[in-house]
């Protein structure tokens, strides 16, 4: 079948929304894994039938589910995430040293090249890799042990590795982002890592606002045609790097708030990016009760509000870091989910929006697949 | 705690919470075979052996510590804080009463 498949992770299960290429009428399936938190599910770019899902609860811990038929059926695979060696300590909220301990998988990133290879970003922050379709997991411990680990500290949501970005032109290069530590890059397939946080300023959050680590990076994204350009939604500030994370500069421009969680790049226009400004600190809802996606066609600084079809009064939902995705259709489709249980879709690059579901549990993640 | 007498192989009935029944694809009670002394740890070992998908959901991998929001009940007693070496009551070892794995009442 052709068309698109939207994978939605929520506080109480997963949902799969499918449509044809027009992306106007949607079939809704779910809840899958009802009652479990589905932090993330994502399909393999190598084989769209292969989907991985992170399933967890406070009661029964972590499971990883795998589908080999596009989400029709699922099987639990390996769920043992054991840190390599003696994991040591990181900073706790009160400044004391806290032993590293596994809580959950926040993000699953299937390999661009191999259907059985998938990366998992976990809390407490570490990166794991499976090369057997999720059956077994091994930590890429060079990240946690690269030197700054004892200085990492949890954000409000826990100390999580939430973003994994692969460079499509250099298979050995990968980026991860950790709250609250920052961005790290490997150029040797995950063996060694370097902090890539020069230019970030976290005034009022770090004793040295320009420290090498400690920044609350919420999300990073790149376009595959121009992989040395990175975009970042930091706790505050929209940032851009033109040298693969070597240095960052701010491109927040005139946004109504430079706080937010997701950031994503148009599938066909590497300088067109999307954010959802949120009021902070602690409110975490849209400014003025108006849910607005902002689009920049210039790689930042100049932004336009996209409001058509989105609630423009009395809207106080949040959009979480993994809850936005873009498809590769023409024109490019944009999708995002809210903590109020709506999933909004635009089939025209963000100009017009429709809520394709209204009343799901709080949405944690949204991914989209173009089907062959 | 009473001693367990009788055959060296026991068939123990286990009540699982709904989410774990679904995972293990168990309809109703589960049943496990324990070879030797019917201890708390031996029943959990047998349960995870019979249903590998339950590994990590009741006890942590590696440490085998009970997950915080899981409880163990049997014959009207809370055994959650007992050691793995605890012998379970005769009625459980004999299959007359089930060993219950409980998802603790907690909000959300």
| pLDDT tens digits along A287-331 | 999 999 999 999 999 999 999 999 999 999 999 999 999 999 999
In B39-105, where does DSSP find H-type helix?
40-50, 90-93
> Contact A60/B62, CB-based, under 8 Å?
no
A281 preceded by a cis bond (ω within 30 of 0): yes
The stretch A349-358 carries a mean pLDDT of 98
A51 pLDDT higher than 60:
yes
> What does the CA dihedral A118, A122, A128, A130 come to, rounded to 10 degrees?
-40
Q: Considering only residues B2 and A285, tell me which one the structure prediction assigns the higher pLDDT.
A: A285
> In a mutagenesis test of the A interface, which of B17, B23, B63 is the best target, namely the one with the most A β-carbons within 10 Å?
B23
Tell whether B108 is covered by a domain. Answer: no
SS3 labels along chain A: CCEEEEEEEECCEEEEEEECCCCCCCEEEEEECCCCEEEEEEECCCCCCCEEEEEEECCCEEEEEEECCCCCCCEECCCCCCCCCCCCEEECCCCCEEECCCCEEEEEEECCCCCCCEEEEEECCEEEEECCCCCCCEECCCCCCCCCHHHCCCECCECEEEEEEECCCCCCCEEEEEECEEEEEECCCCCCCEECCCCCCCCCCCCCCCCCCCECEEEEEECCCCCCCEEEEECECEEEECCCCCCCEECCCCCCCCECCCEEECCCCCCCEEECCCECCCCCECHHHCCCEEEECCCCCCCEEECCCCCCCCCCCCCCCECEEECCCCCCCEEEECCCCCEEEECCCCCCCEEEECCCCCEEEEEEEEEC
Domain membership of residue B47 (yes or no) is yes
Give the model's confidence band at B5: pLDDT under 50 very low, under 70 low, under 90 confident, else very high.
Answer: very low
Subunit contact A60:B20, Cβ cutoff 8 A:
yes
Q: Mean pLDDT throughout A7-18? A: 98
Position B6 scores a pLDDT of 52
Mean pLDDT calculated for residue range A34-46:
98
For A61, the closest chain B residue by CA position comes to B57
Reported as a pLDDT band with limits 50, 70 and 90, residue A204 is: confident
**Cα of B91 to nearest chain A Cα, Å:** 27
Q: Does a structural domain hold residue B80? A: yes
Is B78 a member of any domain?
Answer: yes
**Mean pLDDT score, A30-59:** 97
- Mean residue pLDDT of chain A comes to 96
Q: Give CA–CA dist A26/A22, Å, rounded.
A: 10
- Residue A369: which of A43, A79, A77 has the closest Cα? A43
d(CA A8, CA A6): 6
Summarize the confidence of residues A136-141 as an average pLDDT: 98
For A243-275, how does the pLDDT look when each residue is reduced to its tens digit (9 = 90+)?
999 999 999 999 999 999 999 999 999 999 999
Domains along chain A? Answer: 3-371 (2.130.10.10)
**How many angstroms separate the CA of residue A150 from the nearest CA in chain B?**
23
Mutate: best of B57, B59, B104, partner A, most A CBs <10 A:
B57
Residue B2 clears pLDDT 60, i.e. is over it: no
User: For A198-225, what is the mean pLDDT?
Assistant: 93
Whether residues A63 and B108 touch (CB distance < 8 A) is answered with no
Instruction: Test B103 with A59 for CB contact under 8 angstroms.
Output: yes
pLDDT digits (tens, 9 = 90+) for B85-101: 999 999 999 999 999 99
CB contact under 8 A, A62 and B62: no
> For residue B1, is it within any domain?
no
The total number of structural domains in chain B stands at 1
Tell me, rounded to whole angstroms, the distance of Cα B79 from its chain centroid: 10
Note whether B69 contacts A36, CB cutoff 8 Å. no
Residue of A nearest to B63 (CA): A82
Please indicate, yes or no, if residue B29 is contained in any of the structural domains.
yes
Q: What is the ipTM of this complex?
A: 0.90
- Are the beta carbons of A73 and A90 closer than 8 angstroms? no
pLDDT of B106 over the 90 cut: no
Q: State residue B3's pLDDT score.
A: 46
B8-53 tens-digit pLDDT: 899 999 999 999 999 999 999 999 999 999 999 999 999 999 999 9
Residue A34 has pLDDT above 70, yes or no: yes
Q: Does residue B2 lie in a domain region?
A: no
Tell me the average pLDDT across A61-83. 98
When pLDDT is cut at 50, 70 and 90, the band that residue A1 belongs to is low
What pLDDT, on the 0 to 100 scale, is given for residue A205?
84
Is there a contact between A60 and B60 if contact means CB atoms under 8 Å apart? no
**CATH assignment at residue B88:** 3.10.20.30
* Whether pLDDT at B1 is above 50: no
* B61 is a domain residue: yes
B-chain CB neighbours of A82 within 8 Å are: 61-62
The reported pLDDT for the residue numbered A300 is 98
Measured between CA atoms, the residue of chain A closest to residue B23 is A76
Query: How far does the CA of residue A76 sit from the closest CA of chain B (Å)?
Result: 7
CB under 8 Å to A204, separation ≥6 — which residues? none
Tell me which residue in B23, B56, B68 faces A62 most closely, judged by beta carbons.
Answer: B56
Contact at CB, A76 and B61, closer than 8 angstroms = no
Q: Select from A13, A34, A60 the residue whose CB has the most chain B CBs within 10 Å, as the one to mutate to test that interface.
A: A60
Nearest beta carbon to residue B23 from set A58, A76, A80 = A76
Name the residue range of residue B35's domain. 9-103
Specify the pLDDT at position B104. Answer: 86
- pLDDT category at A346 given cuts 50, 70, 90 is very high
């Amino acid at each position: 079948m052709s068309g698109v498949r939207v994978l939605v992770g929520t506080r109480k299960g997963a949902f799969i929304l499918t449509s044809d290429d027009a992306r106007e009428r949607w079939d809704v399936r779910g809840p899958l894994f009802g009652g479990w938190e589905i932090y993330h599910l994502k399909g393999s770019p190598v084989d769209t039938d292969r989907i991985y899902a992170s399933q967890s609860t406070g009661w029964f811990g972590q499971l990883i589910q795998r589908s080999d038929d596009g989400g029709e059926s699922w099987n639990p695979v390996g769920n043992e995430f054991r840190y390599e060696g003696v994991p040591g300590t990181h900073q706790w909220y009160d400044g004391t040293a806290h032993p590293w301990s596994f809580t959950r998988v926040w993000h699953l990133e299937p390999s661009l090249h191999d259907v059985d290879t998938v990366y998992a970003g976990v809390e407490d922050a570490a990166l794991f890799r499976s090369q057997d379709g999720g059956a077994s997991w091994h930590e890429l411990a060079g990240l946690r042990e690269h030197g700054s680990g004892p200085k990492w500290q949890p954000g409000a949501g826990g100390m999580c590795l939430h973003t994994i970005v692969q460079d499509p032109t250099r298979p050995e290069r990968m980026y991860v982002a950790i709250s609250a530590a920052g961005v790290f890059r490997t150029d040797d397939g995950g063996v060694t890592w370097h902090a890539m946080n020069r230019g970030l300023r976290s005034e009022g959050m770090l004793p040295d606002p320009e420290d090498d680590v400690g920044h609350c990076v919420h999300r990073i994204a790149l376009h595959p045609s121009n992989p040395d350009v990175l975009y970042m939604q930091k706790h505050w500030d929209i940032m851009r790097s033109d040298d693969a994370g070597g240095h960052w500069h701010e491109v927040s421009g005139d946004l109504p708030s430079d706080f937010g969680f997701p950031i994503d790049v148009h599938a066909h226009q590497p300088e067109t990016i999307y954010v959802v400004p949120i009021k902070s600190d602690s409110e975490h809802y849209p400014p003025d009760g108006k849910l607005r996606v902002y689009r920049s066609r210039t790689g930042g600084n100049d932004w336009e509000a996209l409001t058509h079809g989105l609630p423009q009064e009395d809207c106080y939902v949040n959009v979480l870091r993994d809850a936005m995705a873009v498809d590769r259709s023409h024109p490019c489709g944009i999708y995002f989910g809210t903590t109020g249980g709506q999933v909004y879709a635009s089939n025209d690059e963000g100009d017009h929006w429709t809520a394709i579901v209204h009343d799901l549990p709080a949405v944690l993640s949204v991914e989209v697949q173009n089907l062959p | 705690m009473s001693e367990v007498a009788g055959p060296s192989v026991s068939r123990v009935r286990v009540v699982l919470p709904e989410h774990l029944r679904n995972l293990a694809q168990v309809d109703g009670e589960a049943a496990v075979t324990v070879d030797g002394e019917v201890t708390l740890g031996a029943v959990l070992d047998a349960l995870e052996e019979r249903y590998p998908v339950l590994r990590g959901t009741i006890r942590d991998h590696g440490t085998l510590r009970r997950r915080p929001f899981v409880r163990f009940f049997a014959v009207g007693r809370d055994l959650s804080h007992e050691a793995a070496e605890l012998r379970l009551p005769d009625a459980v070892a004999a299959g007359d009463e089930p060993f219950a794995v409980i998802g603790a009442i907690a909000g959300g």
